[in-house]
Amino acid sequence: GVRGEGLRAKALLGGRDELLVAAKAALRGTVRDPEGAPIAGAQVCASPSSATLLRSETREPTCATTEADGTYRIDGLFPVEHRVDASAPTYIPKQFTEGEGPRKRRTVRLLAGAERAGVDLVLRPGGVEIRGVVRDLSGGVLEGALVSSGGGSARSDEDGRFALWVEPGTAYVHARADGYASNGDRGAAPGHAFELFLTPESVLIGKVVDASSGAPVAGVSVTSDRWGARWNWGTGPDAVTDAGGHFRIDGLEPGTYKPTAYDDEHYGIAAAQVSLGLGQTSAPVTVEVHPALTVAGTIVPEDGEACERGSVSLTDEASKRSFSASTEGDGAVLLRGVLPGTYDVDVDCDGYVPEERYEPIAVEEATSGLEWSVAVGQAILGQVVTAKGDAAPSMRVRATMKVDAADPRARQTSSWGVETEEDGSFAIYGLKPATYELGISGERPGPDAPVEVEVPKGRDVEGLKVELPGSGSVTGRVVDERGAPVGDVVVNLRSKDRGGGMFFFGGRSSSSARTTDDGEFTIEHVRPGSYRAEASQGWTRTLRSPGTSDDDVQGVELSVSEDEATQVEIRVEAKGAEIRGKVVDADGGPVSDAFISATRESDSATKSAGSNVRASRWGNWDLQPVLTDADGGFTIDNLTVGTYTVHARRKGGGEGFAEGVATESEAVITIESTGSLSGTVTASAGPPEEFTVTLRERESAVWRSDTFFRTGGAFSFDELSAGTYELTVEAGEGSAKVEESLGDGEERDDVKIELVGRVTVRGRLVDLDSGEPISGMRVHIGPSSGGMFFGGGGGERKEVSDANGEFEVANAPSGEVQLFISTQNWGGTNDYSGASMMRTLAAKPATQDIGEITLVKKRLTDQEKSGDLGFKLRDAAPDEEWAKRELKVAFVRPGGPAAAAGLKAGDVITSVNGHDVTGEATYKYWALTRAKPGEAVTFGLASGSSVKVVLGPAL
């Protein structure tokens, strides 16, 4: 690349002021059906996409209705990229695309004062109508809300009602309205009455000033979080400061925010997080900005074309900073607010092959004129057909590169997936010569095993035909013990014959469906075999059969045959119970803005103390919460009979729990006064310029993280409940971890944390049984409390194990750390699974060798299912020392394999097949115990005895 004089954003991409006053653009086209007949009355909407305009200026589309001849025209558009969607009654919505391969575009580029013609769309029949209502949290209806799903959009009427035509399956419906935060609902299409509740908006206001002079800074972009400035993926900022440096960000949900300001010459983060309550406008927040730079360049494909969809990421390993931006127009990339440093460069361009390594960039001044070349590479072109030879459209095809044993650190070129066209064809571009595995998923089952494809050097693979297996269908109902339908729950088919993950997208899956409000469901294309059908609410809450416990096997068994329909009924516990109560503050006064959720307490023998509170915090994120009334009262209805933990939280801060609350009873929940923790972070050379503090309270599962920039080492967290907090600090200069206690309403400002220098870690991955080296696995090292993992190695990829199994991770934290070992080719076939383990690293020497790490080779292929052991282990307690962790048997299923072998609840497992699984070696347990039905696993026990368990059929 070439270093230049510097380049302002408006010179490269067009500044916001110029865009606002520029002559508007227009587009026009025709909407037709597959036979070429025009579709009258179709709605066509153009949605702007720009990194320059505010998000509020791009969040609503401009729409038009087609005439009798199917033509339309949309005027008054910003001269930026636009997504164009069309929808019409009885048809499936469609997004406009043009071009093929690497040059396929999903947006239309508009020019000032110009009209773009030929934006034509073809709609397929088969759409279904969905209906619903938009309400505020109090239950009142909202008129004029913009409701959208799958490319179609509508406005709610005076009764809050709306109707949309969408693709059959599971639809996600999104709604937004002025004065409210946006929200969504997911449900079966057709068959579900959608109900979307919008929360009154919270507002963040403040001022951006120069850190040196205190003078206001005008024209600076502001985001509500710290990520938007550094990871720009084509969306604009939340606000731009006015002449007085002021900004206002609306449409926010109650919660915690960290305003960040940036432009070509400035960068800064607010000194502390801002907690916003329901409908609250913050006190003015001051954001100090410091000098920063721009880095501008272009991704240049070797074939002379423009890089339509690409990105450039800069990472400074010394400071642990990264900046990313996507391409805008002709492959141009602009990274704004970049801080001085030496950055490794990572380049991506859809359909092209990046270089193995790009030269690092030393950013000391505004830099422009950089060029990053990408190669054309090879392609796989083929067609996916059904077992009957028909085209299989809308299937997702993923290409995963197999690791080259001769060069395991070579850059991978894999594809997350392309969608097959109407004729089943697909094309995956930008591949290196290598062996690839094709994985195919969607509404039909994929091939029985990944399709292996050899891509030779200098030649594309053409004419590949992939035939999907035959399938049957499953239809059924979910009902309660009284026979009443149970609607809007997810039915999953869990194979008893096959392993492997479950890939689905766009609401289409060959193994799951959502029930209608009448409790009915259909899964059209299911791989023949044996299954267990389970119903769940949300992602994690399996619905129990009447009279069973959480340790019992749930669901019903069924068998699916090719070209046959299987019917099934899943019977679950009845709903209809309720819990009433009141939320009060520490003085006994009512709390009128608390969000309430109830989580059924598990009766599983595996649960550790405090698990009810931890589950209630994270187990209901996908459910609509209840808001307390003016007197602090609440009612949670439609519950199954049982005992619950009720969680009350003010999203701006403060919470309370009531455990052991039975249905049809009343609970009083007290939100105690919150406190704060603040202090300073120091390093040997003084306070770090930038650092991240992760705060964790293990007993209650509180987790917060924040980044502090040029605060002189000062940090603070407010709105904290009482507890014992673990604070982990990560900075370029080093890391540290301390533990601090906090009482109800206590405000502590005396926390002092001293960073310990980072280290370079070397080691070797070997097979547990043979001792042979394991190549091509990636090693990450991060703090034991979780958070960011730092790969190290820069562009040399030394964190990937070489042919001798050796790896090196630079700039790793010391102290208690977590090693996370993963495959490079996620989704592909590997001999080893990933592993996570704890270690303690000394602060010195600066470079240290941790020796050999053993991994367990898989005993099963990815398509094989592990047999049933017939027992469960107790969950680890949150404060349990990892080096002393015990694998204690909590539950043995009567009549199961473990019971037959004599294993008992309370037994402590110390070895599996002769391999130690105590303390830090517990990470081996999972891989060692996966085996085929009929195979034996020997468990050594702390009592000195051993038990051989012959695995039974998968459940």
pLDDT at 881: 82
Return the pLDDT at 101: 73
Q: In this model, does residue 637 exceed pLDDT 50?
A: yes
Which pLDDT band, with edges at 50, 70 and 90, does 722 fall under? very high
CATH architecture of 472-572: Sandwich (2.60)
Q: Kindly report the pTM of this predicted structure.
A: 0.90
Which CATH fold topology does 202-291 show? Immunoglobulin-like (2.60.40)
Average of per-residue pLDDT across 62-86: 97
- Residue whose C-alpha is closest to residue 205's, from 280, 269, 263: 280
Least confident of 63-72, 404-413, 688-697, 842-851: 404-413
Residue 833's pLDDT is 86
Do 191 and 171 meet the contact criterion of CB atoms below 8 Å apart?
A: no
pLDDT in tens, 262-291: 999 999 999 999 999 999 999 999 999 999
DSSP annotation string for 871-932: EEEPPPPTT--GGG--EEEEEE-TTSHHHHHT--TT-EEEEETTEE-SGGGGGGHHHHT---
Residue 584: partners with Cβ closer than 8 Å, 6 or more residues away = 590, 591, 632, 668, 669, 670, 671
- The whole-chain average pLDDT of the chain stands at 92
Q: 715 or 102, which is more confident?
A: 715
Contact (CB, 8 A) for 74 and 27 = yes
Q: Is a pLDDT exceeding 70 seen at residue 14? A: no
Give the C-alpha separation, 276 to 136, whole Å: 18
Residue 620 has pLDDT above 90, yes or no: no
Task: Give the fold, CATH level 3, of 583-600+632-751.
Answer: Immunoglobulin-like (2.60.40)
Q: Which of 665, 663, 660, 653 lies closest to 585 in space, CA to CA?
A: 653
Q: pLDDT exceeding 70 applies to what percent of the chain?
A: 95
The pLDDT score that the predictor gives to residue 898 is 98
Q: What is the pLDDT of residue 505?
A: 45
Check pLDDT > 80 for residue 652: no
The least confident of 52-56, 543-547, 659-663 is 52-56
Rounded distance, CA 722 to CA 709, Å?
27
| Segments making up each domain of the chain, as ranges | 10-200, 202-291, 298-375, 381-467, 472-572, 583-600+632-751, 759-855, 871-950
Residues of the chain with pLDDT > 90, as a percent, come to 80
* Mean pLDDT on 307-326: 90
Over residues 108-127, the mean pLDDT reads 96
For residues 94 and 5, is the Cβ–Cβ distance under 8 A?
A: no
User: Shortest CA distance to 452 belongs to which of 498, 461, 406?
Assistant: 461
> For residue 824, how many other CB atoms are within 10 A of its CB?
22
Q: E strands of 587-632, at which residues?
A: 595-600, 626-627
Dihedrals φ, ψ of 789, to 5°? -105, 135
SS3 per residue for 234-260: CCCCCEECCCCCEEEEEEECCEEECCE
- List the CATH code of the domain at 759-855: 2.60.40.180
| pLDDT score of 234 more than 80 | no
**What is the structure's pLDDT at 751?**
97
Confidence of residue 5 (pLDDT cuts 50, 70, 90): very low
> How far is Cα 422 from Cα 418, in angstroms, rounded to an integer?
13
> Same CATH fold, 871-950 and 298-375?
no
Taking each continuous run of H as one helix and of E as one strand, the counts in the chain are 6, 78
Cα 585 to Cα 632: distance, rounded to the nearest angstrom? 10
CATH node for 298-375: 2.60.40.10
Pseudo-torsion of CA 690, 694, 695, 697, nearest 10°? -170
User: In the predicted model, is pLDDT for residue 209 greater than 50?
Assistant: yes
> Could you tell me where the beta strands, DSSP code E, fall in 211-331?
221-223, 231-232, 239-240, 246-252, 255-257, 260-262, 266-269, 274-276, 285-291, 293-301, 310-316, 321-326
pLDDT in tens, 474-531: 999 999 999 999 999 999 999 999 986 544 444 467 899 999 999 999 999 999 999 9
Give me the pLDDT at residue 380, please: 96
pLDDT of residue 226: 81
**Mean pLDDT over residues 174-190, rounded?**
95
Q: Which CATH number fits domain 381-467: 3.40.50.300, 2.30.30.100, 2.60.40.1120, 1.20.1250.20?
A: 2.60.40.1120
pLDDT at 175 over 70: yes
Average pLDDT, stretch 811-831?
A: 87
Distance (Å, rounded) from C-alpha 793 to C-alpha 790? 9
Pair of tokens at residue 478: 């979910």
Q: Which CATH architecture has domain 871-950?
A: Roll (2.30)
pLDDT at 795 over 70: no
Q: Count Cα neighbours of 410 within 13 Å in the Cβ-side half-sphere.
A: 17
pLDDT at 470: 97
From the number of C-beta atoms within 10 Å of its C-beta (0-12, 13-18, 19+), residue 190 rates as middle
pLDDT of residue 406: 87
Strands 723-731, 378-385: parallel, antiparallel or unpaired by DSSP? unpaired
Low-confidence winner among 576-580, 591-595, 625-629, 790-794 (lowest mean pLDDT): 790-794
Q: What is the DSSP letter of 785?
A: T
Q: What is the pLDDT of residues 867-904, one digit of tens each?
A: 999 999 999 888 788 778 899 999 999 999 999 999 99
Position 786 pLDDT exceeds 80: no
* Model confidence band, residue 3 (pLDDT cutoffs 50, 70, 90): very low
Q: What is the 3-state secondary structure (H, E, C) of 459-470?
A: CCEEEEEEECCC
Type of residue numbered 22: A
- Topology (CATH) of 10-200: Immunoglobulin-like (2.60.40)
Residue 413 is predicted with a pLDDT of: 87
